[in-house]
Structure 1
Amino acid sequence: MSHLLAKPLFFNRRIIFYLVILLSLQCIIAYGALLVFDSLPSSLTDMPDDHIVFRESQRGTVNLIRMQINEHKDRPLEQVVEELQPYFGYPIEVLPSNTSLPDSVQKELVKLGFSYDSDNEVVYIDLNDGHLLQLGPILMRDILESNTMSLSVFLIIWALFSAIIFFILIYFAFSAVWKDLVNIRQTAEQLGQGNLHARTENVKGWLFKPLANVLNNMGTHIEHLVSTNQTISHAMAHELRTPLARMRFELSMLEESQDEQEKLLLQKGMSDDINELETLISASLNYFKMQQSNIELNLTTVSLKEWSEKICQSLELFKPPEFELICNSQDVNALIDTNLVETIVKNLLLNAFKYATHKAVLNITKQHNSVVIEIDDDGAGIPFNSREKIFMPFARLDTSRTRSTGGYGLGLAYVKLMAEFHNGKAFVVTSPLGGARFVVSLKAEDE
């Protein structure tokens, strides 16, 4: 229970952390935006230059001071300035006309009769009598020149409102995406912990729905592989148990037997069982090796009719007596891996020789970009609920297809595996002859 409560608490702390980071970023962005805006020319911002605005705001003050000085020309200039000083909140100072001034200030002074030095925040008035009048420094600051506290307050207020609105918009825009991510993460964690039945559900966002589908497909594939490997392991253990049990029985009989002829028979039986174990292990290892390898197709253009007839002729010696094999093939060319496909056809025909009663029919056709191989027999057929099982390694049915016919149940597993290597599939249905129809569909490019 505490674990469940910890997650929402952690989530809330993370939201607060993100909000603080967002506020800080908003403050930095706001301050930077103010600096950039202030540095832009007035032609872009449509805002008058600060220098001109302040200079023109002092024009009336300059004229009034001149009027006062002109009205008291008979009195010393310093005395008149001293009488005016109490009416101003900044100092007024008399300077000689040859005072060194910046070039821009000097040019403005010559042109207008007064000028504003924005660097020192002072106004200069030319009295045309060999004196200059200095007003200031005059303290007039904009927000960028205000004290740190007031600027910080402004930035925090602006960033707070901006961040809250932005965060609300982001929450409503990405809450569904966040839920999808949490769902996908939980599924991945469950799969990592061994729960192969876990699947990602209710993922509706277009951004992560493909990822959820990939994860679900991967989970299904892993579950199928694990289930298949477990089935194969159990089946192989069963296959190994039978010859081992016979060997144990034969060894026990050998120890008790006094008859030399019987001992020879028991030794031969044990040797046969050892050979059977070696064959079984070798076949199993070959299957697993093929299952793990990535076979590159060696595609060759062949005439399906001529190629299939050669295969049927090569299997004549393996047919049971009075067994009828009919080979029908479409007279077209196809691009296939002849080695893989020949192995598929031979395995299926040998399987038909083993389980059919009197007859098997091979049909090979080309349909669009696929080669379809169909082999019908008149045997006992395959029950519907066993039609997937027979393609599993070591799988056998409890009908005529039993151990007495030989083999380890790997032939059809090889067929399915090689069909998949050829980008195809293999399955079984009911044959018109009454037995089983094995169908293999292979991808085949045009010549």
Structure 2
Amino acid sequence: MNHLFLRFALPVLLAIGLATVVIYLTFARLFGDPFDEIARRQSTGQIFLLEQYIDKAGADEWLVRLNKVREVSGVTFELLPLRATLAALPESKRGQLARGAIVIDAGGKAFYRRVDRDGARYVGSDDDVILARHLPIDIGQALCMEAIRFGVIALFLLVPIGWWSRRHWRELEALSRVADDFGRGDLAVRAAQRPGSIIAPLAVRINDMAGRIGLLLEARKNLLRSVSHELRTPIARLEFGLELLLHRHAPSDPALEQRVRAMATDVDELKALVDELLDLTQLDHAGQMPTRPVALAPLLQGCAPLPSGTRHYSVSIDSDLGEIEGDQRLLARAVNNLLGNAAKYAASRIDLSAARYGASVRVVIEDDGPGIPLDAREKVFDPFFRLAREEDHAAGGYGLGLAIALKAALLHGGDIAIDRSPLGGARFTLTLPIQRGP
């Protein structure tokens, strides 16, 4: 059962229930209690017997006929004082009884009526009331019939609503799948546009939006790819020229030699930046990622060597982490990037731990550095983003390591979260889904 139908069905049922209450209150105010009318219809035979047989008797025969009816009827007929009966009835029904009308007591399965108002039946009959009890009144049956009536109405309303909502729920699910596929990197996916569908205008707009986003992303990829490849040629020329200058034509001036070596260092940094950019653009091609079973514990153990020998590095990796379908190189790159980031900012300590939690593995890397401000924990995964702090300028880098780590995690169905470490610095938690047990 789809959620769209449930959202329609509940208001429809509530509306029918509310309409029933409103109808009852309206009828009760305009025409009297509907339950009394139902009881009156069910007591038609006894009322007819009273009015057309007993009341038709003469003055000396009225009591005789009443007694005959008592002998053969299952209904009990009693004579009660008018004053006592008026005192026992609700105020709303006293006027009816005083006027000589039949007063129904649906709950007591009875009705009241004055014998007469002028004493014509017998002496003192104007001060008596006839009470008929044990009438064949069944309000429960009437309520059951009303419930069946409204149930049938509700059914005939909900069946077309169910058919309509089922059709459109399927279209919404198809639209959701398109959005999911597009979010996973399938830029060619588009929503089906069925003529006459209520969501056809939405599908058209989503397709237009997907087309524009796809063009922008493709242009961005092409720009990064082109720039990265085009930069490699002049960088290679610079490397070659500096190598010749240093080793074949060594400068006689020590200051000039130092300057040339600094330029060589700058070229190496530029080359590393281009390599990072190429890696980032390659991760955009999720469908081309080779996958195979990768044992996580050995992979993490291979990432365990301390990035910098001057810091205390502790490792705690469970042996039963299981396997994940993915690219071993990308997974190792993600962990190494996180370790490298911790090494840049840690004061003296870096901890790496990994444990299994249900169907996933959590790899935690934390340090005792300055940490990451709360408002920047999402932005640090953006390419080229760097915090405007002295520590960040001193640490160097290009702002691409965390972006590459997050993309690698997302390609494997995982994620990376940042919070405060008990050591005082940042704590990165890499979560990966497990496909197989150990």
TM-score range, shorter chain: 0.3 to 0.5
TM-score (norm 2): 0.44
Q: Which has the larger radius of gyration?
A: 1
TM-score (norm 1): 0.43
